[in-house]
Amino acid sequence: MGKNIGLVWLRDDFRLKKNLALINATKKHDQVVAFYLYKSKKLDNQEAQKWWINKSLKEFKNKLINYNINLEVIKIDSYKLFFDKLILKKNFSLYWNKIYEPNYLKFDQYLSKNFSSKGIKFYVFKGNILNEFNEINKSDGTPFKVFTPFWRNAEKYYLEKIPSNNKIISKCAKKVSYFKNTIKENDIFPKKKWYNKFENYWQPSEDKALNELKKFIDNRIENYSEARNFPNLLGTSKLSPFIKHGQIHVETIWEECVKIKRKGVGKFLAEIGWREFNHSLINSFPYMVKENYSKKFNKFPWEKNIKFLSAWKKGLTGYPIVDAGMRELYSTGWMHNRVRMITGSFLVKHLLINWKEGEKHFRNCLLDYNEANNVSGWQWVAGCGADAAPYFRIFNPILQGEKFDKEGDYVKKWVPELKNVPKKFVHKPWEINDDNILKLDKDYPRPIVNHEKARSKALEAFKKI
């Protein structure tokens, strides 16, 4: 194949709009092939996402056909080995968008060095982010460690240089194939069958993402500041899985939000700001991907308790708001943000189990798993992250439930054992003392720890560091 072909390496980029790698490849080549590298071992710890990726590949493949572009899926054992073989062909130019995780950016440098030495043309573009993480620093050039000043500077910087990325993908002359031994999308499905339930809640596609954004702006953004705290309400955007897998670019979200002047817009965009801040953190302090940002926590007396950890994962802790969140996660691949904080706090502060165990479980179960958000979020809850919650903030799961799920609707949806429990007791069912309504230990477990005792024990443990 003598003609120079544009190869577009897709990763978290399942969109046409603001996909700079794809747009630029079709501008420069009349033959373009998109490819996705499926490294099974990498996704073994991200089981839920296999379902989303499978659906995304099928949908995007059909979309690209309209532009005479093939999307080919290749199973690999090693990114390095794949590209070392590809570089020998020399009849292509390579295009890709960045992913802002330390290992990906490090690999970008490896590819850039190798391709340059071989004289192969390659083009690397800004990924799904407003600002490059290293563009936002303090006046002394060091990275921000506190969110509010970071976002104030990041917002101002972005407003001053908003890019005009409204170019669109071009149709290629004809559809061609490039790689041998491609695989079917179904080969990516997770081994566990829990993903069957996801069909009831999600439709992974760019069109769906854009439609969800429109519905959120039209109907919910005005009440976002308050409604986002109540898990029984549809108060959030639920765009996070689409953002993670690139069905929508955060610049598109920004553009659509700033068109309107309504209450709630600033608060919602600040959540995009947290995502930017988290990416800045893990790239400025890459050790925090696997370790505590605050190194004094390296001496924290975490406890290993397989029984408690299992009860937490299964939603059988005896605390209804915690159990509802964990069951929502398993059934839908998503959990309400307020409940993420409650369940996270319960694991690390009531059970004194290392945040890494929670991060690992969420990584496996979340459709919107993002390294920066997940690691930073867990460290925020544990108190060992940058700009983290203070150690003495220990969410009371009873009061949190009574405040944010007053009628018990959220709990009863995900913990149906409690559907007949009066709202007075729905967040503390152990106080009922009526076997006709609920048999404790048989219908629903008693609390695995006493809140007050667990809180005191946690405070003592925190004082040690």
In this predicted model, what pLDDT tens digit does every residue of 107-131 receive, in sequence order?
999 999 999 999 999 999 999 999 9
In which band, very low, low, confident or very high, does the pLDDT at 162 lie, cut at 50, 70 and 90?
confident
**Eight-class DSSP state of 220:** T
| pLDDT exceeds cutoff 70 at 160 | yes
Residues 288-339: tens digit of each pLDDT = 999 999 999 999 999 999 999 999 999 999 999 999 999 999 999 999 999 9
Integer distance in angstroms from the first to the last C-alpha of the chain? 64
Specify which residues 35 forms β-bridges with.
Answer: 9, 72
Distance CA 306, CA 304 (A): 6
Instruction: Please check the confidence at residue 405 and state whether its pLDDT lies above 90.
Output: yes
Answer for the pair 284, 276: CB distance below 8 angstroms, yes or no.
no
Provide the pLDDT for residue 195.
Answer: 79
- The pLDDT, as a whole number, for residue 3 is 76
Active-site residue set? 271, 274, 302, 337, 355, 378
pLDDT of residue 218: 95
169 exposed, middle or buried (CB, 10 Å; 0-12, 13-18, 19+)? buried
**Boundaries of every domain in the chain:** 5-127, 128-164+205-284, 295-463
The CA distances from residue 297 to 290, 354, 462, in Å, are 13, 10, 9
Give the β-pairing of 32-39 and 5-10.
parallel
Which residues on adjacent β-strands are paired with residue 444? 440
128-164+205-284 domain in CATH 1.25.40.80? yes
Asked if 407 and 433 touch (Cβ cutoff 8 Å), the reply is no
Beta bridge partners of 39: 76
Residue 453, pLDDT above cutoff 60? yes
Q: Does the pLDDT of residue 203 top 60, yes or no?
A: yes
pTM, two decimals, is 0.95
Pick from 172, 167, 166: nearest CA to 65: 172
Q: Residue 390: which pLDDT band, with cuts at 50, 70 and 90?
A: confident
Average pLDDT over the chain, rounded to an integer: 94
Please identify, in words, the CATH class of the domain defined by 295-463.
mainly alpha
pLDDT surpassing 50 at residue 1: no
Give the pLDDT band of residue 415 (cuts 50, 70, 90). very high
Per the model's pLDDT, the better-predicted residue between 3 and 457 turns out to be 457
Which of these ranges, 100-104, 138-142, 182-186, has the smallest mean pLDDT?
Answer: 182-186
d(CA 109, CA 280) in angstroms, rounded, equals 18
Q: Which CATH class is domain 5-127?
A: alpha beta
The arrangement of strands across the sheet holding 122-125 comes to 70-76, 32-39, 5-10, 92-97, 122-125
